Every structure is written in structure tokens, then in C-alpha cells.
Structure 1
Amino acid sequence: MKALGILLLCAAALCAPAAARTPPAMAPEPQRADSIVVDKSERRMRLLRDGKLIRTYSILLGDAPIGHKRQQGDERTPEGAYRISGRNQNSRFHLSLRVSYPNQADRKHASARGVDPGGDIMIHGGTPPGYRRDWTDGCIALTDAQIEEVWSLVPTGTPIRIDP
């Protein structure tokens, strides 16, 4: 009977809602990035402060990595100048930073073609360590450990340039 009680307590604990995720604290201001540069062809993301490199990360991209994102569902990672416009600590990909795609030019080009430009472009975790294949729907993917570090170093509003 005692074993049954312990089993029921364990089952109840497994079914209980998970505690809210607590993201890492922001690094001290002098350590934070003031710009991000992504090189899609190199699969590299660089964090800079005052023009000096502070971190480099290997990244993975959308399933169709060549070319600028043109519309919803094309699985391309956008190219151009954007900003980090938000943060999601409850992302299904561990943590995520929102990229301000689509910008005004992206919306104009999509409208001229009669298509939806898409959105929800993020820098996020979820990549298993050592994984080497592009897999997102157009986002910039890191490992969970990497996105935790980036989260703490990149404030909302940081400019990001995504190069081909």
C-alpha cells in the first residue's frame, strides 16, 4: 500500500505543470553587444561592442538558406538590416529573440507580389550540440547553451545585419 502511495505521488508530480522558465540575467552593460552581424554563407553570428568582436557562434538557418526571405513559408532566413524587437522566455525552442522582419521594404515587396511576407523570425535555441543541418523555417538557430549566453548579452533594440 505504501508503494502505491509513493507511485501516485510521483505520477502527480510528473503531471504537474512545469515551473515558469527563468531566463539568464542580463550581463553588465559594458559586456553587452551593441550590434549583431550574421553571415549566412559562413553560418556565423558575431556579437560586437564598439566595433570589436565579443563572441562568435556557429548557427543553422532555414531549410532553404540561399536568398532573402520573400514570403511566408519559403523557409529562407531574411537578409538586410533589422533589430532585436522582443524576447520570449517561453519559446518552444528554449529561449528566443525576435528579429524585426518584415521591415517596411519587405512588406512593400511582398505586397507588390500579392503574398504574405511572413514573420516570427527569431534567434533561438533548440539545436542539439553537434547538429550540422539547417532545419528552421527561416530562423537563426543555436544550441540551448548558446541562446542562454546570447540572451544575456543582447538587449532588445540591438541592430542585427544579416548578410548573404
Structure 2
Amino acid sequence: MLALLAACGKPPSKFKSYNGPAVTQIVVNKGDRRMYLLHNQTVLKSYNIGLGNQPLGHKQFEGDGKTPEGVYFIDRFNPRSRYHLSVGVSYPNPNDAQLAEALGRRAGGDIFIHGWGPEGKRLAPKNRDWTAGCIALKDDEIEEVYAMVRGGIPIVINP
């Protein structure tokens, strides 16, 4: 009984488990503000998303507020993200870096799929596209994604 009472005061963990089909690809359709987790051709989950605060067009350089477009890979996980949890996207690729350099700018980096966290809870209800170029989900949704996704899988970000 004492253990049961002690467990009642403990907040639920943000780290979920998943034992379904492997996610083999992530597809983001920026125009529809949708993200899909796929197992081969089967959609396992889909989410409404927010984007960078300048949602139209491909990210060209650091600070432009755009979400990149193209094929990237999941390359890191941040369990201590200020946006609840976050999953890294391998932007910039060599083409992105070359484009930014041609513009006399830095390509930037730190593009993530992440939760809202405190900042998003304040900004997202007023403006769906509030990030600096990342892909934003509600906190409970990033918990699912964080559990389902593995490093190295491709993420295709379409206009």
C-alpha cells in the first residue's frame, strides 16, 4: 500500500516504450503541415506540425527562419531538450553548406523535430509556425516519436 501511495505522487515519465513495426522513413509535407512515420509504405502515425517562422521555401542560411527541404537523416537524440525532447535532423548536407557559402553566409544547424516545451506552449497557440526552422509537435507527440524513431533513418522534407 505504501509503494502504491508513493507512486501516485511521481509524475509520468516522458520516455515511452514502443514495440511495433520499425519506422523506416519519416516524411514531412510542409505545405500540409503534416509529418508521417512510415514502415515501408504503411503510415504508422501522422501528426500536425509547426515549422520555422518563415515556412515557405528551403532553408538557405542560419537565421532565415526556414525549415530545410530535401533528404536528411536522423542523427541524434536530446533527452534534455528545452523543447521537452528532440530528435536531430542531419541538416546541413554538403549542398546546403555550399549554397550558404555562395551567399556569404553560414548554413546553420541544430535542426530538430521537437516538442513544444514552455516556449511552444506560449507561442504555438498564437502562431503555428514559431520555430527557428525546426519541426514542432506537442509534447505528448514528441514522446511517441522519440520512442519510435532510431538513428540513421531518412527524413524526407517536401515543400
The two structures have a TM-score, normalised by structure 1, of: 0.82
Give the Cα–Cα distance (whole angstroms) in 1 for the partners of residues 100 and 64 of structure 2. 12
The equivalent of 2:94 in structure 1 is 104
Give the Cα–Cα distance (whole angstroms) in 2 for the partners of residues 25 and 135 of structure 1. 26
The equivalent of 2:9 in structure 1 is none
Where do residues 45-56 of structure 1 align in structure 2 (5 Å cutoff)? 45-56=35-46
Where do residues 59-70 of structure 1 align in structure 2 (5 Å cutoff)? 59-70=49-60
Give the Å deviation of 1:26: 4.4
Give the Å deviation of 1:34: 0.8
Is contact 1:125-1:146 (8 Å) kept? yes
Which piece of structure 1 moves more, 64-73 or 107-116?
107-116
Given the alignment of the two structures, is residue 32 of structure 1 paired with residue 33 of structure 2, yes or no?
no
The equivalent of 1:161 in structure 2 is 156
Structure 2 segments unaligned to the other structure (5+ residues): 1-12
The number of residues matched between the two structures is 143
Is contact 2:16-2:144 (8 Å) kept? no
Larger Cα-atom Rg? 1
Is contact 2:115-2:136 (8 Å) kept? yes
Give the Cα–Cα distance (whole angstroms) in 2 for the partners of residues 26 and 108 of structure 1. 39
Deviations 1:103-161 (A, max 9, x none): 01101111122210011000000143983521000000001000000001111111000
Given the alignment of the two structures, is residue 114 of structure 1 paired with residue 109 of structure 2, yes or no?
no
Is contact 2:16-2:143 (8 Å) kept? no
Is contact 1:121-1:139 (8 Å) kept? yes
Deviations 1:48-79 (A, max 9, x none): 00211100000000100000000000000000
Alpha carbons of 1:94 and 1:32: their partners in 2 closer, same or farther (altered >3 Å)? same
Where do residues 1-164 of structure 1 align in structure 2 (5 Å cutoff)? 23-28=14-19, 30-126=20-116, 127-128=120-121, 131=125, 133-164=128-159
Give the Cα–Cα distance (whole angstroms) in 2 for the partners of residues 141 and 69 of structure 1. 16
Is contact 1:83-1:157 (8 Å) kept? yes
Give the Cα–Cα distance (whole angstroms) in 1 for the partners of residues 40 and 121 of structure 2. 32
Which piece of structure 1 moves more, 128-137 or 108-117?
128-137
Is contact 1:26-1:151 (8 Å) kept? no
The two structures have a TM-score, normalised by structure 2, of: 0.84
RMSD of the TM alignment (CA)? 1.9
Give the Å deviation of 1:97: 0.3
Amino acid in the other structure paired with 2:43: L
